[in-house]
Structure 1
Amino acid sequence: MWIKKDNIVRLVMVKKLISLFVGFLFVFSSTQITFAQEGFDYNRAYSDYVYTLDLYRKSHSEYLLARSQYQQAKTLTAQTAARDATAKILEARDNAVATYLTAIRMRLGETGLLTRLDADVAWFNDHKSRIHSAGTLEDLTADSDEAKDHFELSKSLSYEALLVISQGKVLDLREQVEELFTKLKIKVAQLSSDDGFNSQVVDRWIIETEYKLTRSQEKYDDSMTHLAEIQNPKTKDTSEAYNSGLFRLQESVQYLDEANQYVREILRGIRTK
């Protein structure tokens, strides 16, 4: 039931997000979200993340426009507008990261993976301590059957934990690719104001990158469906749901790899300017 090393070789590419833990200290100025808020669960947290991500993308477009106008006009009014747009996109980015981390934290808290895993370890430790007290072979057989039955529950929990961990790795990888992609798009927008820079080829790579990122997100969402199957007590074969979820994540990573290749093409196009 364990993930084979060759099945997650692409996932080990993930590094820590820069300034990741800053998000935990973020105080929500617009939504005032707290973990104790009534009715606030993972679904609400994820919806908040999607909402703030859309706001970030909108502010990013406004930022590119304001910056381009300033580069062309060079007026005080345009400079002020560019400054305001820059402040807005930074605030939107912080909010998006904060809600992203909140969604992950709520997922862990809602599933109770750590607590449930600890309880499972304690169960087997307690069961082990009772084995020596068995007086007969029949008692040992009963103990064995008890552990066997409990292990079926443990397998589902293990599959759930392993898939959640893999999903976290994919999210981290996606964040890295999107962060670099965003910076490069800003740089391209700056260079586009230069008459000597032909952005047609680079613009094509940008479109291709956005398409691959969208496809990657779709595959990730599919893995969430399989996670729900594992969590469903009515699911008989959790290993099949796990393998299907892991396969979707591998597809998601493949699209991220392709997006990253296009990002490199964008970078190459900028450097040859």
Structure 2
Amino acid sequence: MKKAVLTTLVLGSLYLVLSTSIHAQTFDFNKAYQDHLYNLTLYNQAYSDYQDAKNSYLANKTLSLKEDARQKTLNMLRSRDQMMTVYMQMLKQKIVEDKGLSGEDKNNIFVKIDSEVDWYKSDKEKYNSNDSLETLFSRSDEARARYKANTLLTIDEALVDIGLGEEIALRNEHEAVYSTLKTAIDAGVATGKLTRNPFNHWLTDIDATDSMLKQNESDVRTRIQKIYNQSYSPQGSFEASIEILGLGVPQLSQFNKFLTEVLNYIKNQQ
């Protein structure tokens, strides 16, 4: 039920951890993603069965075909709730493992994700095996309304948070290298092996690039929250947030290029 952005979340293969004599499978993003794929497959099959049963009933409205359509509809709706539950849990696990987001950032989105997980779990339990076809259709409308009004917004924010966290983590890594280089420059100047020029100008340019990245991150945080503001288009705010995140790609590349240039210059002065 969500955009192809999800495909960018795929990371590697499943890991097994050996504990005493028992192989216990760890629950990490890779496992969560596999769970999502499994439940998505079940839902797609249930939805296909539902469509076939519905079309058969509409073409020939017999009691037996209506009953078959009812059972297939019930199975599809339960599968849909389960699929959404697992999908939201997968997004949460991805954020749990993120190294760029702060604890506050994570907790803010976790509250929203947990609320959606609880809703879909509860909704799944509300379905009764004896519900009429008409009742099932009505219940389906409730889930559709929930998805549009709440779930979709939470998914959008979570996806942006994931991208933001990855960008922050990369910036932090570059800043760590930058700090090491500045220490090396100070040491070189102190021993007379290096002079302050041209480093003074270069460091100013690097600082400016770092500042632009931080400003982008701040802009993304502000923009994505506008999906909850009725004065803005949720889809527009999501796309604008992704666009701002995209600005960080060339800036990170420039950061990396600058650091490499400084490192090579220092080496050549030894």
**Into which bin does the TM-score normalised by the smaller protein fall?**
0.5 to 0.7
Alpha-carbon separation, structure 2, partners of 1:177 and 1:6 = 27
1:192 paired with 2:189, answer yes
Residue 5 (structure 1) shift: 6.9
Pair 1:269–1:8, CA change in 2 (3 A): farther
- Residues 142-176 of structure 1 show CA distances to partners (whole Å, capped at 9, x for unaligned) of 11110100001100011112212222222211111
Pair 1:168–1:270, CA change in 2 (3 A): same
1:119 paired with 2:115, answer yes
Alpha-carbon separation, structure 1, partners of 2:250 and 2:155 = 25
Normalization by structure 1: what TM-score? 0.57
Normalization by structure 2: what TM-score? 0.58
Task: Determine the structure 2 residue equivalent to 1:172.
Answer: 169
Runs of 4+ with >6 A deviation: 5-9
Pair 1:144–1:185, CA change in 2 (3 A): same
Structure 1: 5+ residue stretches without partners:
13-100
Choose which of 150, 157, 162 in structure 2 pairs with 1:160: 157
1:218 paired with 2:218, answer no
Task: Determine the structure 1 residue equivalent to 2:137.
Answer: 141
Ranked by relative contact order (alpha carbons within 8 Å, sequence separation 6 or more), the top structure is 1
Task: Determine the structure 2 residue equivalent to 1:105.
Answer: 103
| Contact 1:156/1:238 (<8 A) preserved | yes
Task: Determine the structure 2 residue equivalent to 1:259.
Answer: 255
Q: Secondary structure at the match of 1:272?
A: helix
| Contact 1:223/1:248 (<8 A) preserved | yes
Residue 194 (structure 1) shift: 4.3
- One-letter amino acid of the counterpart of residue 117, structure 2: V
| Contact 2:185/2:194 (<8 A) preserved | no
Alpha-carbon separation, structure 2, partners of 1:5 and 1:137 = 33
Matches within 5 A, 1:57-136: 104-109=102-107, 111=108, 113-133=109-129, 135-136=131-132
Residue 181 (structure 1) shift: 0.5
| Contact 2:226/2:232 (<8 A) preserved | no
Q: Secondary structure at the match of 1:263?
A: helix
Q: Secondary structure at the match of 2:230?
A: coil
Pair 1:263–1:202, CA change in 2 (3 A): same
- One-letter amino acid of the counterpart of residue 159, structure 2: L
Structure with higher Rg: it is 2
Number of residue pairs matched? 179
Residue 241 (structure 1) shift: 1.0
- One-letter amino acid of the counterpart of residue 108, structure 1: K
